[in-house]
Amino acid sequence: MKVNFNRAALSEVLGLLTSVVPSRTPKPILRCVQITTGKKDARICATDLEIGINCLVHEVQVEEAGEVVVPADRLAAIVRESVDEVLSLEAAEGTCEIRGADSHFTIYGQEPGQYPTVPGFDGDANMEIALSNLQAGSDQCLFATARESSRYAINGVLWEIKGKKLMLVATDGRRLARCRVNLASAPDEKIAATKIIVPAKTMGLLDKIGSTDKDKVAVKLVDNQILFSCADVVISSNLVEGNFPKYEDIVPTDYEKKLTLSTEAVLSAVRRSALLTSEESRGIKLSIGKDSMVFSGRAPETGDAQVDMPVDYKGEPIEIGFNPQFLIDVLRVIKKPEFELELGQQDRPGLIKSGSDFLYVLMPINLG
């Protein structure tokens, strides 16, 4: 194999691929990427056996077709540190040589025939969605997924299809985020009735695909896998098995205490009132009375903080405690200048809404 790569294009592709390459694995070949050249392009693949990425690179000049499997981290480091506009790769018998204007690297690779098959996207899509819509929806719920949990279902994002709308739902048991986005084309009834749970890592990869306003993602379900195709990138992923919690049951619908608040002002108030909290007293108190809202945090060994904010509120006074980081997380992803806060009793969850397509349920904490 002999091929000349545009270094910038190769670097961008490797940046995406290395995010699925495992740092530790009993199978050394999984720490590699597979490069296969055609007549006018090169295909580069990576997989950890649960998620695979298949990228087509057009900014190449193929002198001799072939295939090579080389360590991803070494190749990515060489490409990243190079100052050349074009890099030449030449591979034969498990050895890959990379040349720039003033540099020459030799990397020892693996047997190409041993590399696992990384799926491409064949046939028609089940549904289509604008990449920008999917990325925006992912941003507004991905942060609420469980990081570590024996309940694997909440380590992913639930996809629910209702007509031409896609509902994305994530929870870690203490909070829940739900976002609704428009589909470009809806699936048939059978696919729409399927409960799909996409791993959080896979959803995060979608954010890394460079997007333009016109890019669409084709989505296809094959057995227990989901495939995403956008431009020259195909991402394949196993789905999360298990039952997602019946989240509708915990979304409050009977609250009477309602406020419209400034997103930026509340974010600032939460950050400041949490400055003196500690790991042991990791909570802030919201005290809401007539025309005022007070954010307060304290720790016995540190001190206390209080931030006052005028609000338009005429209801019954209420005091309620929340984890400040969980409030900061949601306020960061709200795109509108204002949001609605709805509260019940102090032992019931808080409800945050932004427009008609986003809501966030947050369990209170007891501040003693």
Sign of CA dihedral 215, 216, 222, 225: positive
What's the mean pLDDT when you consider all of the chain? Answer: 93
In this prediction, residue 280 carries a pLDDT of 73
Give the C-alpha distances (Å, rounded to integers) separating 67 from 24, 90, 114.
24, 10, 12
Q: Do domains 2-114 and 251-362 have the same CATH topology?
A: yes
CA dihedral 324, 330, 334, 339 (to 10 degrees): -60
Superfamily of domain 127-247 in CATH is DNA Polymerase III, subunit A, domain 2 (3.10.150.10)
CATH class of 251-362: alpha beta
Domain spans of the chain, in order of start? 2-114, 127-247, 251-362
Taking the C-alpha atoms of residue 297 and residue 348, their distance in angstroms, rounded to an integer, is: 20
For the segment 199-222, the average pLDDT, to the nearest whole number, is 88
pLDDT of residue 148: 75
Mean pLDDT of the 165-192 span:
94
Separation between Cα atoms, residue 228 and residue 234, nearest integer Å = 6
Q: What is the pTM of this model?
A: 0.91
Q: Backbone phi, then psi, for 17, in 5-degree steps?
A: -65, -40
State yes or no: pLDDT of 211 exceeds 80.
Answer: no
Q: What is the pLDDT of residues 284-306, one digit of tens each?
A: 999 999 999 999 998 888 899 99
Q: What is the pLDDT of residue 149?
A: 62
Span 21-40, average pLDDT: 94
Residue 291 vs residues 152, 294, 310, 317, 341: alpha-carbon distances, Å: 44, 10, 6, 10, 15
pLDDT, tens digit, 9 for 90 and up, residues 247-276: 999 999 999 999 999 999 999 999 999 999
Question: What confidence tens digit (pLDDT) does each residue in 1-22 have?
Answer: 999 999 999 999 999 999 999 9
Residue 217 pLDDT level (bands cut at 50, 70, 90): very high
Tokens of 221: 């379900």
Please give the pLDDT value at position 324: 96
Q: Is the pLDDT of residue 93 over 90?
A: no
Can you name the CATH fold of 2-114? DNA Polymerase III; Chain A, domain 2 (3.10.150)
